[in-house]
């Protein structure tokens, strides 16, 4: 598993259930609200600073996700992806990486086509059993509660970049 994480040059994430807790929250006017975890956000920024490129492939479309992606410096954002595998192949081509050099983190069966093709696949603990069965790593923390941070640190640890990434905070 560490060898798989060590090879990651591009890490892709689903949003709902991974970067959020999976709940769909709406205001009375029908506006969607998403809650993101700041620990996850810093983990993404730290991973990006090590040279790993980042992307989001999600089936839903939301301006909130656009804002979050921009704030985090996400390199590739694809929303409304009904065929995530097709979008995945497009991202690989755009990024110039092979599937073996890519990681993907998802939480449901719609993510399986991508999870089964990447070099490092990750699911959250509350993903369906079928999904957990087909991934290389299941996080200890749930989606929206630090799971993304856990994966970012796992990749940095495998690549030998975690200590350097955290060193500025230990001065």
pLDDT tens sequence across 90-99: 999 999 999 9
| Average pLDDT of the segment spanning 156-165 | 97
What pLDDT score was predicted for residue 5?
97
pLDDT tens sequence across 20-40: 999 988 989 988 889 999 999
Residue 147 lies in a domain: yes
Binding-site residues for Mg(2+) sit at 14, 107
Report the number of distinct structural domains present in the chain: 1
Binding-site residues sit at 14, 16, 107
Domain coverage including residue 23: 2-165
What pLDDT score was predicted for residue 171?
87
The reported pTM is: 0.95
Residue 171 lies in a domain: no
What pLDDT score was predicted for residue 1?
61
Binding-site residues for substrate sit at 16
Token pair of 159 as six digits: 């690549």
SS3 11: strand
The residues near 43 (Cβ < 8 Å, ≥ 6 apart) are 148, 149, 150, 151, 152, 153
Residue 170 lies in a domain: no
CATH assignment at residue 152: 3.40.50.1000
pLDDT of 74 higher than 80? yes
Residue 24 lies in a domain: yes
pLDDT tens sequence across 116-158: 999 999 999 999 999 999 999 999 999 999 999 999 999 999 9
| CB atoms near residue 166 (< 10 Å) | 12
């Amino acid at each position: 598993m560490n060898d798989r994480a060590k090879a990651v040059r591009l890490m892709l994430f689903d949003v709902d259930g991974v970067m959020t807790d999976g709940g769909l929250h709406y205001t009375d006017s029908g506006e969607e609200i998403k809650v993101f975890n700041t620990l996850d956000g810093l983990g993404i920024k730290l991973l990006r600073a090590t040279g790993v490129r980042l992307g989001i492939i999600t089936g839903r479309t939301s301006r909130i996700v656009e804002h979050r992606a921009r704030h985090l410096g996400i390199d590739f954002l694809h929303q409304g992806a009904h065929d995530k595998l097709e979008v995945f192949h497009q991202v690989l081509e755009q990024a110039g990486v092979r599937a073996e050099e890519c990681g993907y983190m998802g939480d449901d069966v719609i993510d399986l086509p991508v999870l089964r093709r990447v070099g490092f696949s990750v699911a959250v603990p509350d993903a369906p059993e079928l999904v957990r069965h087909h991934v290389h790593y299941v996080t200890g923390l749930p989606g929206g509660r630090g799971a993304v941070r856990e994966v970012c640190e796992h990749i940095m640890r495998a690549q030998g970049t975690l200590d350097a990434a955290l060193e500025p905070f230990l001065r």
